[in-house]
Amino acid sequence: MTLLIGTPARALDTLRRQVALADGRTIDYGALLLATGAEPVRLSVPGADLPHVHVLRSLADARAIVGAAAGARRVAVIGSSFIGLEVAAALRQRGLEVDVNRP
């Protein structure tokens, strides 16, 4: 096994069975497993890019939410997913009012 850190895959050529890396190299493959995970869905609504609107995926996201919660009284959580409800429970434990929304 070869571990390549800091070299994201940028393109797939399924006819040639090659992965193109960001640093210009290519890797040949016989079978390909895509395991690139998921990113939070960001809303395309006015205000979604304001600084007090957060998503949760990384440790940095969690720290930003904890920091913002310190000066907040009421929080809206959009999406009642496993992660959304964990956030709601954690913020309730910090004494904030929490509203959870789902479609």
Ligand X SMILES: Cc1cc2nc3c(=O)[nH]c(=O)nc-3n(C[C@H](O)[C@H](O)[C@H](O)COP(=O)(O)OP(=O)(O)OC[C@H]3O[C@@H](n4cnc5c(N)ncnc54)[C@H](O)[C@@H]3O)c2cc1C
Q: Does 24 bind ligand X (CB under 6 A)?
A: no
The piece of 24-32, 34-42, 70-78, 92-100 that touches ligand X (CB under 6 A) is 34-42
Q: Where are the beta strands (DSSP E) in the chain?
A: 9-13, 18-21, 26-28, 74-78, 97-101
Q: Does 90 bind ligand X (CB under 6 A)?
A: no
Q: How far is the CB of 56 from ligand X (least distance, A)?
A: 5
The smaller minimum CB distance to ligand X, of residues 56 and 69, is found at: 56
Residues 6+ apart with CB under 8 A from 40: 55, 56, 57
